[in-house]
Structure 1
Amino acid sequence: MSQRSHVLVLAALLALSGAAGAQQSINVGLQAGGTMSWVTFAIQRYGLDKQLGFTLNATTYASKDATRVALRSGAAQVVVDDFIEVTLLRQKGFPVSAVYPFSLLAGGIVVPEDSPIRTVADLRGASLGATSLTDKTLLILRAYTRATAGFDVQDASKVVSVSSPLMEQFMNRGEIQAGIPFWHHTARMVAGGKFRQLISSADLLKGLGLPQNVPLLYVIARTDTDPATLGLFLKAVKLAEERMKADDAYWPAMLGANLYVLPDRAQLPALRAQWAAGLPKRWGAADLNATLLLTRKMIAVAGPDVVGLTRLDTRAFNTTFQP
Structure 2
Amino acid sequence: MVGFARRSVLALALATSAAALATGWGAGTAAAAERLKVGVLKFGTVSWETSVIKAHGLDAAAGVEIEIVELASNDAARIAFQAGEVDTIVSDVLWAARLTAENRPVVYIPFSATEGSIMVAAGSPIRTLADLKGKKIGVAGGALDKGWLLIQGYARQSAGIDLTRDAEPVFGAPPLLQQKLETGELDAALLFWNFAARLEAKGFRELMPFDEAARKFGIEGNVSLLGYVFRAGFAAEHPAALKGLAEASRKAKALLAGSEAEWQRIRPQMRAEDDATFQALRRRFLDGIPKRPVEAEQADARRLYAILAEIGGERLVGPARTLPDGIYWSGLKGGS
Common fold by TM > 0.5: yes
Contact persistence 2:136–2:186 (CA under 8 A): yes
Q: Pairwise mapping of residues 1-323 of structure 1 onto structure 2 (< 5 A)?
A: 17-18=28-29, 20-21=31-32, 24-98=34-108, 100-131=109-140, 132-193=142-203, 195-223=204-232, 224-225=234-235, 226-256=238-268, 259-311=269-321, 312-321=323-332, 322=335
Q: Is the 8 A contact 1:101 1:283 kept in 2?
A: no
Shift of 1:320: 2.6
Shift of 1:73: 2.6
- Contact preservation (8 Å) 1:285, 1:319: no
SS at match of 1:101: strand
Amino acid at match of 1:166: L
CA contact (8 A) 2:113 2:288 kept: yes
Q: Is the 8 A contact 1:126 1:158 kept in 2?
A: yes
Tell me whether 169-178 or 33-42 shows the greater mean CA deviation.
169-178
Structure 1 residues 146 and 34, CA, compared in 2 at 3 Å: closer, same or farther?
same
Q: Is the 8 A contact 1:134 1:307 kept in 2?
A: no
Task: Report if the CA contact (8 A) 2:35-2:66 is conserved.
Answer: yes
Partner of 2:4: none
Task: State the distance in 2 between where 1:123 and 1:288 align.
Answer: 32
The AA in structure 1 aligned to 2:291 is K
The residue matched to 2:260 in structure 1 has which SS?
Answer: coil
Q: In terms of Rg, which structure is larger? A: 2
Structure 1, unpaired ranges of 5+ = none
Cα 1:280–1:249 shift into 2, 3 Å? same
Deviations 1:170-197 (A, max 9, x none): 113332110011101111211221x111
TM-score normalized with structure 2 length = 0.85
Cα separation, partners in 2 of 1:202 and 1:14, compared to 1, 3 Å: closer
**What do residues 60-114 of structure 1 show as CA deviations (whole Å, max 9, x unaligned)?**
111122212222232211211111111222234334211x211114231100111
Alpha-carbon shift at residue 14 of structure 1 (Å): 6.3
Residue type matched to 1:207 in 2?
Answer: K
- SS of the residue 1:313 aligns to: coil
Distance 1:315 1:53 in 2: 25
Q: How many residues align?
A: 311
AA partner of residue 111 (structure 1): V
Matched residue SS, 1:133: coil
TM normalised by structure 1 equals: 0.88
* Counterparts in 2 of 1:136 and 1:115: CA distance versus 1, 3 Å: same
Cα distance in 1 for partners of 2:149, 2:103 equals 27
